[in-house]
Amino acid sequence: MRKQWAEAGVRVVGRPEIVWNRPALIRLSGDGGGTVRIRMCLDATDVRVTQRGHDVAQNKTPTISTISMTRLSEDKRWRFLAAKAGKPC
């Protein structure tokens, strides 16, 4: 992911603050696999993002984001699938 961002000229300065987080879905299978979805309120108002030197618009208020992860039974690691921003929190 970072390599793709670098190739696209994306630069991120700062880190969002996690205001709160809650599990939205936890589904574990008997063979070691599973799916986890976490809803979190992120305050990224102090994060600055540029692409090829131009500012990229960011949310002005904290936003609810959903993080999805999965693990196949033959894997030892959880894989990040997607992060989706939604409504203000």
- The domain ranges of the chain are 2-88
Whether the pLDDT of residue 82 is over 80: the answer is no
Tell me, yes or no, if the pTM score tops 0.85: no
pLDDT in tens, 11-43: 999 999 999 999 999 999 989 899 999 999 999
| Radius of gyration from C-alpha coordinates of the chain | 16
Do residues 20 and 43 lie in contact, with contact meaning Cβ atoms separated by under 8 Å?
Answer: no
Sheet strands (E) in 1-89? 10-13, 17-28, 34-43, 48-51, 54-55, 63-71, 79-88
Structure tokens that stand for 8 in this block? 């696209």
Strands across the sheet with 63-71, in order? 17-28, 34-43, 63-71, 79-88
pLDDT at 1: 61
Whether the pLDDT of residue 2 is over 80: the answer is no
Structure tokens that stand for 6 in this block? 């670098």
